[in-house]
Amino acid sequence: MDPVTLLLIIAIVGGFYMAWNIGANDVANAFATSVGSGAVTIRLAILLAAVCEFAGAFLVGEPVAKTISSEIVTPAVFETRAMDFGIGMVGALLAASVWLNIATFLGQPVSTTHAIIGAVIGFAVVACGPTCIRWGEMVRIGASWVVSPIVGGLLAYIIYRFGVRRYVLESRHPVFMAIASVPLGLGALVGIVVFSITYKGLPGLRLNFPLHWAAPLSILAGLAVGAALWIGLRKKMWRHGIPRDQRYEFVERWFGHMQVATACYMSFAHGANDCANAIGPLGAAITTLRTQAVPHEVGISPLLLAFGGVGIVVGLATYGYKVIRTIGRQITEVTPTRGFSAEFGTATSVLVFSKLGMPISTTFVIVGAVIGVGLARGFAALDLGVIRKIFTSWVVTIPIAAVLSAVFFLALRSLTL
């Protein structure tokens, strides 16, 4: 077998393994609470998560994938030795996969995003020195790691404090308000998702509308879904046979239905952002190795996006369901009103940063959103020590992934050239 084919196989296996990992571990974030509260069965959760993750990866996954494959390191620097770039990306995939496995074995929570970014930096520094890294871009990415949880937290705070708490829980007619808020929440969700798909979307599917088309289109879609639901639910709204002492349970049950939609929203956003961790380097490696030349711009083909989506779905189906079940059983604190707020905030933040092409850690954003709901008096007790742990794992992961990636790069290069 010639070395290039071998490298391609390693790249595809590594990329698939990364996608598998993302599906196995992170999808639980979105659906665990819904499964735990009994709003959906585990089977339905897997199905919904699979569809939404795939849709997110396929339809909105491109900007982040582009960032990882060609924005952090300038491919043009490798003009004279294109193979180094391809081999490096393969090494980065391997390094990130290996480190994720070691960290999981040690019981440390690490982010696939941090692992892959660290790995890309690592091989590039060894291959052509620190100057070939776009440090300005790295600063932007680093800043997005800090800003995205804050945005998620702020959104979750506003939704819980000024939406759920003020207009539903504090209301004299919480049941009525809970039912009435469903069309509003769902309409907003559909509008945002449609906008994320249509505004500068995939050119291959002709989804790259300009702003003056995408914005009215998404507003219309949101309004249509909201109005249709409102008309459908209106009959139910006037039935008020809920005993006083069961009102709170009723509100939580209704939000439980709505939370299924926000869980789908979160899966969609997660697919859009995290799929790139697998297919970004893979895309760069495949293009370079096949053409033996450094691409001016790495094209992320729909086929590649679909490949990442499939990897995530396989991870979900083979291992992720176990994680969903375990976490769902243990998170009893997150009632549907809180889950709805935190998930809406998280998904919106993740989706916005995905469209901006920023590879962020969805887990950080979730923690930020949970703290946001906590600030609005949503949770009984939050352990803020977790912030320190997360920060440590972030600070540790990047250099380790970088060193591993450098080692793999040198090893692969000496083997194949």
Residues forming contacts to another protein in the complex (CB under 8 A) are 25-26, 28-29, 32, 107, 109, 160, 165-166, 169-172, 174, 244, 247-248, 323, 327, 330-331, 333, 335, 337, 363, 366-367, 370-371, 374-386, 389-390
Shortest approach of another protein to residue 107 CB, angstroms? 8
Here the tokens at position 74 are 């300038």
Q: Residue 113 and residue 16: Cα distance in Å, rounded?
A: 15
Q: Please, where are the H alpha helices in 27-134?
A: 28-36, 42-60, 62-66, 82-105, 112-128
Shortest approach of another protein to residue 97 CB, angstroms? 17
Q: Name which of 30 and 284 has its Cβ closer to another protein.
A: 30
Q: Name which of 222 and 378 has its Cβ closer to another protein.
A: 378
Shortest approach of another protein to residue 211 CB, angstroms? 35
Task: Name the CA dihedral angle for 270, 275, 281, 282, rounded to a multiple of 10 degrees.
Answer: 180
Here the tokens at position 282 are 């893979």
Q: Name which of 67 and 262 has its Cβ closer to another protein.
A: 262
Closest CA to 337 of 160, 206, 189, 166: 160
Shortest approach of another protein to residue 256 CB, angstroms? 14
Q: Name which of 222 and 336 has its Cβ closer to another protein.
A: 336
Q: SS3 letters for 169-215?
A: HCCCCHHHHHHHHHHHHHHHHHHHHHHHHHECCCCCCCCCECHHHHH
Here the tokens at position 322 are 């176990």
Shortest approach of another protein to residue 335 CB, angstroms? 7
Q: Residue 361 and residue 152: Cα distance in Å, rounded?
A: 12
Q: Name which of 2 and 245 has its Cβ closer to another protein.
A: 245
Q: Name which of 43 and 173 has its Cβ closer to another protein.
A: 173
Residues whose CB is less than 8 angstroms from the CB of residue 379 and which lie 6 or more positions away in sequence, other chains included = 333, 338, 370, 373
Shortest approach of another protein to residue 204 CB, angstroms? 33
Shortest approach of another protein to residue 260 CB, angstroms? 18
Q: What is the CA radius of gyration of the chain?
A: 22
Q: Residue 146 and residue 368: Cα distance in Å, rounded?
A: 10
Q: Name which of 50 and 304 has its Cβ closer to another protein.
A: 50
